[in-house]
């Protein structure tokens, strides 16, 4: 899998996900302004953590992801 692509190229996320099987291992697929776009396969629970200097975006293609926030209700993505 290449590290980056041209910004004008379409990305087939299903195809990119088929290229690896490891869980919890982020794979960089593009750059977007000052951010890296990464894919990961998740299963089970993950230890709560935060990133003070950046934001994160989650797009769920299959299944369900529950994000537990400290000061508000959980966010469920399907």
- pTM for this structure? 0.70
- The radius of gyration of the chain's CA atoms, rounded to the nearest angstrom, is 14
Model confidence pLDDT, tens digit, residues 9-43: 789 999 999 999 999 999 999 988 888 899 999 99
Rounded Cα–Cα distance for residues 60 and 68 (Å) = 16
Contact by Cβ (8 Å): 29, 16: yes
User: Rounded to an integer, what distance in angstroms lies between the CA atom of residue 37 and that of residue 16?
Assistant: 12
pLDDT band at 3 (very low <50, low <70, confident <90, very high): low
12 Cβ contact list (under 8 Å, min separation 6): none
Q: How far is CA 67 from CA 21, 23, 74, 75, in A?
A: 23, 17, 6, 5
The predicted structure's pLDDT at residue 22 = 96
């Amino acid at each position: 899998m290449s590290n980056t692509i041209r910004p004008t190229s379409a990305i087939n996320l299903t195809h990119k996900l088929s290229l690896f099987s490891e869980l919890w291992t982020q794979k960089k697929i593009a750059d977007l302004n000052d951010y890296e776009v990464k894919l990961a396969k998740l299963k089970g629970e993950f230890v709560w953590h935060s990133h003070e200097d950046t934001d994160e975006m989650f797009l769920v293609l299959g299944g369900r992801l529950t994000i537990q926030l400290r000061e508000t209700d959980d966010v469920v993505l399907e």
